[in-house]
A and B are shown apart, each in its own frame.
Chain A
């Protein structure tokens, strides 16, 4: 076996590559030359020498070592897997000299042997347990213990046993799971040489023949037929490892029998070839050799791996797919796979395959496309053959599984630890004090003449300090409750149970309840101060809907997807009668899209006044009602019905994105008929080409939902955006039908009514995939007519960089044949006052006709290379634009013969010129993109470029080289791709709507009211982020937005300092800091700057970080967490990119959303909707916090009270350490006689009702302020404990000491009855205090457990007095309780003692509640007030109204947002295309636009004035001036004021803040419905005015920093 040897085979061209020697020189950016590849360093040298990334770090390795994972072998180089079916020995891993790891997977952490030692180690790594062990050992020393010898050890062993048993049970379950998984059957290929009976049946389709149906050829069914072992069962790995490798001669006989044999998963080994049938789990990481699917393709479901439910396509190499058809083929197939070493990367794979023997065979590159990972399921494919490359722990899923995750501990844990330290100090102090006092006492009583002779045998006493001290430590140790951790776990378990079962946090749509994946940090949910939220999928739904597009500067509004209309219409037809007659919904089981539509409708319903959230019935009824309108010919009618059915009000209410303010969009409902009308308008061609590119440029897979209906396509794509785009193309007539290996089939739109749709095949030459780094994807097609065209789509900024500079001056459709010889000078000329340009513009109306004379097809093809050669960079070379492309089957729509008809005029005639110039097009497109972005849409830009054959073949060779590179293939591919993705023509732009999730703005409002600072961390671009910020009310209308966008550290420092000063001055009432990933990248390089940034962020009200990477997200969280050590940070996200952040934050919450379950898996809690956060935090968090606080305090309190009596009692024992209580009774205190009430508090306490907590988010500050558990609260509880200990001890002792008995006859002055009296008092007092005085919610559980506790105590004593062994010294238990219980004074003593102990506590509580009521006290009172409750109910209705209004309100805010976002966007784009905008001279069009701009200037100015006034205004009422007639607003405000007064019955506290932030502050809630936004067509955003806009904004708020502004 060759190990890591260098294969130098440059001669071996990959078989798919073009062998061309074309070396046309060309400038950068132009067609490719071999020269340009040199620097790319494309090296097909396969062996990587860098170590494979593994989770390293000494912690991990230590952990791994401990976990028995063994030392990690540094794995370098390739894994080489010879393919030979006849191999008899397992492959040897070169690094270790042993076979590759077994395919058995162990998720279990322990084996039978190491379980106990490991568990003991784990248990005793908890400091408390060590402490108790220490105490237990002290206790074991005879003579030291004051409390018996085993009273600590036994509970300790008990609790440890419980914990260990729990762990053991968990591990047992894991073992069972493992063995279940490891013993699953797999069909492995075996070939046998010496079979006697020939079996030919295996040539049949394996999918139909079960492997077990094959009889094994010999009785010796050995797994390795050729080795010397004849064991019946598959040989264990241990056996195999000692198998003597046989020589090749014996290994490679010609097998005459090839079967698939069923073995267990765990017996699979690297190098085995297996068959996986449809719907089977893939048992190991495989190289796909052959698939029974079309062209060697197959589909896998990777839900278990990454949570994505869409199917992914995998593709066998052509060569192997063809060579291996039958099992016999496998037997004869030889080859060698060179792969990377095991790693975590789920999305990449590097390797190559050589077929045949010998190292110089051609290499076929392997990528992730050929890999089936363990944990995936084969779908839609009968069967596949695969070669195992990674087995067992080497598989990617396992590599990902063993992550070293930060273990989270609640911040309260720190406080608890502090308290424990305090208690420990108290214990030590008390022990020392008592020891000293004991010594003093002993000395005093051993003086001659004052000798307590009865205590000594001799005439002197000496104190045994050690014994006394340790005795005391033993006596007091239980002040630290031994059961704290165990019971706390139970308590939190139930809390988690409640979270999981909360019906209010159950999402019926996704059938997902909330889930607590950890129980450790429940209380942290109630203490959150900082919330870090992802945007996509968290705040937004991540449902992408294709909304708008822009071609040649014209924007089109695609407001509905007919797909669902079709579906809806169909359903409606079926259900029409029922739906109408009963008004009941029967279409619930319609397609998913139908459902989506329902949701959409339900929103609409809400807007128009339906208050009930997600009122399913109402919405579905309305949907049904709508459906009933759908005719049979949905295609024909849908546009009409759509426009009729979806009035604008819905749009305005649903999403701000619908407000069209800039340029009126043409609805596609009108466009489609136009395109199909047979019109001959160049615009139609452009649009068609754009739609075609939408249908072509993607990675999606179509799925026919319904065989009978050829239109029912559903697409599976990697990203929802892509899905939306392909679906959008389908809706507009370009139906992507089928993807095969070679290409895709598209049914195009007929160009005239009498045509039928044509199906065309587009051959895929290359797909350059999307990556987050590239931010674009490209596909190269050979069009049906043979042209080669590159389609690229990607982020607009990225594509913009790659679009060729526009043809200046005239739109050059008429000049296509003769490229305009523009020089750089002429560009400048254009920038200036180019008379030609203005002339051209003046002619534009006329020129329209000329423009339609576009070139003949293919005119520009190939011209690029020639043209560009000598031209200056940036000047284009011939027109290769869409117009030239001739649609096969249809008339060439770029023909000059096309005459504009009326339809065209109708659409494009009214505009100043449908395409005056390319410049204009660009300008318009950019404007539209900005418009899309500012209305919250996600934009993509499409580009294309026709390639000459030579150019392509040259490039494709290099691309193929890069593809086969093993090392750094990704970078090489990117570099090569970069060469081609230049000088694109702009095809068009798309806008996809990313819907906000239900209730997000309201939730964010409430979170803010709760004092939680929100940071939005998103990968999206700034404009989108800011916009979502507005729509989800993260940014208020009156907010000052500080935008940090600086190129250097120094400037960052300066900007942040200035911002800091402004924030500190409190100039603005609401500050939002916006930073992008690039700036953050600069900031994070310096810890000082990062600290400054975090400082700024902490002081601001919100922070938005856009364009940040997952690592940056985590870094931000980490820095904030480090900065604010005692606050709780919460991160919420839904995607894989949020995992780092989720794990970094104190509390990580995963949204079980569209992007899958990855985030949810690694989160602490998962919820289905962002709005559930409200309930999770305000109710469950609050309650958990209160519960845990009270539980911990109660636990410490009860122990302190009890053990302090022991300490106090020492006064009466000469400080000798005598226990007042019998030892076992003593040690049962914590478990039997005091644990239940405190646990009930920890499980069931509700200090305020859920409805109150939800209604008054301000109450949430209780947690972040640590009001529940702090050293102060601990102090008050301890004060109670001390007092009650004194009272509980002294009163009975005083009474008993005076009478010498509790009236018992004969006398019993002995210790036990006295202790019994005190103990009983303590049990009563503690139970009462915890269960009633400190519990607000007295449920049946409280009563039962209190009763049980007291019953247990008396029952225990009764039993004790009857069954206690007679012959003991010290405590005279037998019979004591019987006689005590029969005597009234005993009970009277206990009652009065309890009263004396508890009364002051009650009084203190009353006085506090009456004179210094806390918020909780007040709201507890309010809850009791029936009037208040009634008002709250009204409030809930109002809240519902608010929900509806809020959506309306957002619409009216659009203008403002536009103005702000525009400044950013425009600056943004001005950087990209300065030549487009800033240097332009005033043409007429320019003037016209300037006029618009002035309007917009004024508009913005007005707004910003308002904003300023508002920002620095005195009263909240001024808010009202912003969006409507002030009188109107004032009225509303005063109305709200009145409401408030009515509610609160007081008019005091009317300070500004009280108004704003108080629970009754209704200023926002009582906004009137917004005035409809005027169709403000002259309010346009222009990219040409960045400076003014920016300055204006900054002057209004004084907070905008931008290097380009300065």
Chain B
């Protein structure tokens, strides 16, 4: 073996010798208490601010699920099925009311009988633009695994997908339509498309019945995500008779697709796009329309809704939400509450620790707390026990 004359002495660097500059903080009353108080002082006001911001948002929420049972005359919406929030000291003069009359809905290709629900509500104070109208569903599991994946992105982007391609794919169980041995692709396939909140339920505009206010016009464009538009393309199936609409679309397309009744243009249909952006929670609201130009003047308004969508079968509800926004977005008292709570807890804890520290302070590095000083007798017993079990050999009492 060749003898290497050079030294093998390790380099004396901070890294190699593990002497990197470091801070080794410890949790002492001195460091902890100010921190807590500081956090509390920071968070509580932020929470207040957030609460205030949330409170500036005017919002009307009316659950109209039970509208169908209301009959032809306005009945007040039951207590608890609506809520309003208006900044300032505004009392809702009158609870909203609804009525339902049989009607006929006119689709692009077909007409079908339906029930038209008319909701009457009062806006006690002007709602500042922009005003957004949402529909809100509860207990609707758009995030169900079976549901959320039941989509074929390619098909929606315009690529004609054959039955064979779709069958067994992500659109199951609504990928293909079987007629005997023949299989026809469903367009748009999948559970999401099938259950789209269908058929222009909200009829424009809000009709003002009092104060002579003009009807409040709402725009149904610009409600979807701009990026979403890129996902969708016009379908390019060569033969429309070879594709089938989803089963729930039967009212709109009683005779299926044809040149005369072509499928919807998914790249243009923003309601469809909004729906397809599946919600993460079972209670969700989706933007339906908005007015970014006019304030919603105070007064009483009616709005007509076609009761096309069955939510009672699965125990859900549907609501209409009319809301403005603040600089913090929509109404959201919870964020502010969270901040206030955290802030208060921090302050309280800070005070408790201070009290404890003042009342019965523990010296730093108090030796009496050391495990080998704690209780010699216990220790001895432990040492014996450890010898017996021979699992743990701590500091033996016998030195």
A binding-site residues for B, Cβ under 8 Å: 142-143, 146, 301, 303-304, 377, 445, 449-458, 471, 498, 500-503, 506, 508, 511-513, 529-530, 1008-1013, 1066, 1069-1071, 1098-1099, 1101, 1123-1124, 1126-1127, 1183, 1212-1214, 1216-1218, 1220, 1244, 1246, 1250, 1258, 1261, 1264-1266, 1291, 1293-1315, 1336-1342, 1366-1370, 1372, 1374-1375, 1383-1385, 1388-1389, 1392-1393, 1395-1396, 1399, 1402-1403, 1405-1406, 1409-1411, 1413-1415, 1417-1425, 1428, 1544-1546, 1548-1549, 1551-1554, 1556-1561
B binding-site residues for A, Cβ under 8 Å: 1, 7-12, 16-18, 20-29, 32, 39, 43, 46, 50, 134, 140-141, 143-149, 151-154, 156-157, 168, 170, 172-174, 191-192, 194-195, 222-228, 230-231, 247, 274, 277-287, 310, 313-315, 325, 328-335, 338-339, 342, 345-346, 349, 353, 356-357, 362-373, 376, 379-380, 384, 387, 390-399
Query: How far is B10's CA from A513's CA once the two chains are assembled, in angstroms?
Result: 7
Query: How far is B329's CA from A1424's CA once the two chains are assembled, in angstroms?
Result: 48
Is A1422's CB under 8 angstroms from B280's CB? no
Is A1388's CB under 8 angstroms from B339's CB? yes
Is B393's CB under 8 angstroms from A1127's CB? yes
Q: Kindly report which residue of chain A lies nearest to residue B151, judged by CB atoms.
A: A1369
Is A506's CB under 8 angstroms from B50's CB? no
Query: How far is B147's CA from A458's CA once the two chains are assembled, in angstroms?
Result: 14
The 12 sampled A-B contact pairs (Cβ below 8 Å) are: A454-B194, A1127-B391, A1214-B141, A1366-B231, A1369-B192, A1370-B151, A1372-B225, A1410-B27, A1410-B357, A1425-B364, A1552-B376, A1553-B380
CB distance from A1382 to the nearest CB of B (A): 11
Q: B332's contact among A471, A1012, A1298, by CB below 8 Å, is which?
A: A1298
Contact A1366 to B230, CB < 8 A, known contacts A455-B144, A503-B10, A1388-B46: yes
Q: A454's contact among B16, B195, B332, B393, by CB below 8 Å, is which?
A: B195
Measured between beta carbons, the chain A residues less than 8 angstroms from B369 are: 1413, 1418
Query: How far is B164's CA from A706's CA once the two chains are assembled, in angstroms?
Result: 95
CB distance from B26 to the nearest CB of A (A): 5
Is A1303's CB under 8 angstroms from B313's CB? no
Is B17's CB under 8 angstroms from A501's CB? yes
Query: How far is B7's CA from A628's CA once the two chains are assembled, in angstroms?
Result: 30
Is B338's CB under 8 angstroms from A455's CB? no
Is A1369's CB under 8 angstroms from B394's CB? no
Measured between beta carbons, the chain B residues less than 8 angstroms from A1383 are: 329
Measured between beta carbons, the chain A residues less than 8 angstroms from B346 are: 1399
Is B285's CB under 8 angstroms from A1300's CB? yes
Measured between beta carbons, the chain B residues less than 8 angstroms from A1421 are: 26, 28, 364-365
Is A1554's CB under 8 angstroms from B373's CB? yes
Query: How far is B11's CA from A1557's CA once the two chains are assembled, in angstroms?
Result: 36
CB distance from B174 to the nearest CB of A (A): 5
Query: How far is B337's CA from A1295's CA once the two chains are assembled, in angstroms?
Result: 10
Is A1101's CB under 8 angstroms from B396's CB? yes
Q: B277's contact among A303, A1220, A1300, A1372, by CB below 8 Å, is which?
A: A1372
Is A1548's CB under 8 angstroms from B392's CB? no
Query: How far is B399's CA from A1557's CA once the two chains are assembled, in angstroms?
Result: 6
Query: How far is B369's CA from A916's CA once the two chains are assembled, in angstroms?
Result: 69
CB distance from B223 to the nearest CB of A (A): 6
Is B329's CB under 8 angstroms from A1339's CB? no
The 10 closest A-B pairs by CB, nearest first: A1303-B329, A454-B195, A1369-B151, A1422-B365, A1216-B145, A1299-B332, A1339-B22, A1549-B373, A501-B10, A1375-B227
CB distance from A755 to the nearest CB of B (A): 43
Query: How far is B379's CA from A1011's CA once the two chains are assembled, in angstroms?
Result: 12
Is B22's CB under 8 angstroms from A1338's CB? yes
Contact A455 to B287, CB < 8 A, known contacts A1392-B342, A1396-B342: no
Measured between beta carbons, the chain A residues less than 8 angstroms from B222 are: 1306
CB distance from A1072 to the nearest CB of B (A): 11
Measured between beta carbons, the chain A residues less than 8 angstroms from B231 are: 1366-1368
Is A1213's CB under 8 angstroms from B366's CB? no
Is A506's CB under 8 angstroms from B151's CB? no
Q: Kindly report which residue of chain B lies nearest to residue A1294, judged by CB atoms.
A: B334
Is A1299's CB under 8 angstroms from B399's CB? no
Q: A1339's contact among B20, B247, B372, B387, by CB below 8 Å, is which?
A: B20
Query: How far is B365's CA from A498's CA once the two chains are assembled, in angstroms?
Result: 29
Query: How far is B334's CA from A1393's CA once the two chains are assembled, in angstroms?
Result: 12
Q: Kindly report which residue of chain A lies nearest to residue B283, judged by CB atoms.
A: A1297
Is A1299's CB under 8 angstroms from B372's CB? no
Q: A1297's contact among B173, B194, B281, B376, by CB below 8 Å, is which?
A: B281
Q: Kindly report which residue of chain A lies nearest to residue B130, judged by CB atoms.
A: A1305
Q: Kindly report which residue of chain B lies nearest to residue A1009, judged by CB atoms.
A: B399
Query: How far is B362's CA from A481's CA once the two chains are assembled, in angstroms?
Result: 40
Query: How far is B371's CA from A1580's CA once the two chains are assembled, in angstroms?
Result: 47
Measured between beta carbons, the chain B residues less than 8 angstroms from A1124 are: 390-391
Q: A1307's contact among B28, B283, B285, B394, by CB below 8 Å, is which?
A: B285
CB distance from A1214 to the nearest CB of B (A): 5
Q: Kindly report which residue of chain B lies nearest to residue A1314, judged by CB atoms.
A: B280
Query: How far is B364's CA from A1385's CA once the two chains are assembled, in angstroms?
Result: 41
Measured between beta carbons, the chain A residues less than 8 angstroms from B277 are: 1308, 1310, 1372
Q: B367's contact among A1218, A1314, A1548, by CB below 8 Å, is which?
A: A1548
Is B376's CB under 8 angstroms from A1123's CB? no
Query: How far is B153's CA from A1368's CA once the two chains are assembled, in angstroms?
Result: 5
Q: Other than the known A1299-B331, A1306-B225, A1339-B20, what 5 A-B pairs have Cβ atoms closer than 8 Å?
A: A1296-B281, A1313-B280, A1315-B280, A1367-B231, A1405-B27
Is B395's CB under 8 angstroms from A1009's CB? yes
Q: A1419's contact among B25, B29, B363, B365, by CB below 8 Å, is which?
A: B365
Measured between beta carbons, the chain B residues less than 8 angstroms from A142 are: 168
Contact A503 to B9, CB < 8 A, known contacts A1367-B153, A1370-B149, A1385-B335: yes
Query: How far is B219's CA from A253's CA once the two chains are assembled, in angstroms?
Result: 112
Q: A1303's contact among B148, B280, B328, B364, by CB below 8 Å, is which?
A: B328
Contact A498 to B225, CB < 8 A, known contacts A1392-B43, A1406-B32, A1425-B365: no
Q: B313's contact among A377, A450, A1374, by CB below 8 Å, is which?
A: A450
Measured between beta carbons, the chain B residues less than 8 angstroms from A471 are: 145
Is B314's CB under 8 angstroms from A451's CB? yes
CB distance from B277 to the nearest CB of A (A): 5
Is A1553's CB under 8 angstroms from B43's CB? no
Q: A1098's contact among B154, B280, B390, by CB below 8 Å, is which?
A: B390
CB distance from B256 to the nearest CB of A (A): 17
Is B380's CB under 8 angstroms from A1544's CB? no
Is A1396's CB under 8 angstroms from B314's CB? no
Query: How far is B362's CA from A1388's CA once the two chains are assembled, in angstroms?
Result: 37
Is A1299's CB under 8 angstroms from B330's CB? yes
Query: How far is B280's CA from A1374's CA once the two chains are assembled, in angstroms?
Result: 16
Measured between beta carbons, the chain B residues less than 8 angstroms from A1341 are: 20
Q: Kindly report which residue of chain A lies nearest to residue B382, judged by CB atoms.
A: A1265
Is A1428's CB under 8 angstroms from B281's CB? no
Measured between beta carbons, the chain A residues less than 8 angstroms from B391 are: 1124, 1126-1127
CB distance from A1418 to the nearest CB of B (A): 5
Is A1553's CB under 8 angstroms from B372's CB? yes
Query: How far is B29's CA from A1171's CA once the two chains are assembled, in angstroms?
Result: 40
Is B364's CB under 8 angstroms from A1424's CB? yes
Q: Kindly report which residue of chain B lies nearest to residue A1560, judged by CB atoms.
A: B367
Is A1216's CB under 8 angstroms from B367's CB? no
Q: Kindly report which residue of chain B lies nearest to residue A1036, judged by CB atoms.
A: B399
Measured between beta carbons, the chain B residues less than 8 angstroms from A1308 are: 225, 277
CB distance from B321 to the nearest CB of A (A): 9
Is B390's CB under 8 angstroms from A452's CB? no
Query: How far is B391's CA from A1315's CA once the two chains are assembled, in angstroms?
Result: 45
Q: Kindly report which residue of chain A lies nearest to residue B177, judged by CB atoms.
A: A457
Is A1291's CB under 8 angstroms from B338's CB? yes
CB distance from A512 to the nearest CB of B (A): 7
Measured between beta carbons, the chain B residues less than 8 angstroms from A1399 are: 342, 345-346
Query: How far is B155's CA from A589's CA once the two chains are assembled, in angstroms?
Result: 85
Q: Kindly report which residue of chain A lies nearest to residue B379, judged by CB atoms.
A: A1553
Q: B156's contact among A457, A1213, A1367, A1424, by CB below 8 Å, is which?
A: A1367
Is A1396's CB under 8 angstroms from B338's CB? yes
